[in-house]
A = this chain, B = another copy of it.
Amino acid sequence: MLIADARTSYAEIGAKVSLSAPAVKRRVDRLRSSGVIKGFTTVIEPAAVGWTTEAFVELFCTGRTTPAQITVATRRHPEVVGAYTVSGQADALVHLRAADIGHLEQALERLRAEPFVTSTRSMVVLSRLVEVPTPVPAPN
């Protein structure tokens, strides 16, 4: 219920699971401190705040590039909203969000300038078909 709406009251959750509001709060607190719940966020429509362009970029890196290096490098670029080391030909996959194509090009140029990047392969997103904010665990 908190995935569907992070502002759901403890009493309302309690009504669904037959628990008192304080009991629900204690459980949520426990989920937070045990790291299951990482936090509560707001889902924004990127286009509504001027971010209309999105791309996935495969990174090909020099022989001894560590994941840590890629992490610190990609974090420097505000356009990076996701980065993963992957199996396959590429070493990493980077998810970029930019204001427009010009901005994307510029961000990509900066990314390619990183010393360990040997080449890249870009996929510009034409349309977002599906995007689940949080993976919902299968209900029992």
What residues make up the interface of A, taking CB atoms closer than 8 Å to B? 2-7, 34-46, 48-51, 54, 56, 58, 67, 70-71, 74-75, 78, 80-88, 90, 92-93, 97, 121-135, 137-138
Question: With A125-B85, A131-B82 given, is the CB distance from A34 to B5 under 8 Å?
Answer: no
A–B pairs, 6, beta carbons within 8 Å: A5-B39, A7-B40, A39-B42, A56-B93, A74-B130, A84-B125
Q: Which 10 A-B pairs have the closest CB atoms?
A: A6-B40, A86-B123, A83-B130, A6-B6, A83-B129, A36-B48, A38-B43, A2-B42, A85-B126, A71-B129
A127 to chain B minimum Cβ distance, whole angstroms, is 5
CB of B45 within 8 A of CB of A82, answer: no
Query: Given A3-B44, A81-B135, A85-B125, 11 more contacts at CB 8 Å?
Result: A38-B43, A43-B134, A44-B134, A44-B137, A51-B137, A67-B129, A82-B131, A83-B131, A88-B122, A90-B123, A97-B135
CB of B135 within 8 A of CB of A70, answer: no
Which one, B39, B75, B97, B129, contacts A43 given CB within 8 A? B39
Question: With A88-B121, A93-B123 given, is the CB distance from A41 to B41 under 8 Å?
Answer: yes
Which one, B40, B85, B137, contacts A129 given CB within 8 A? B85
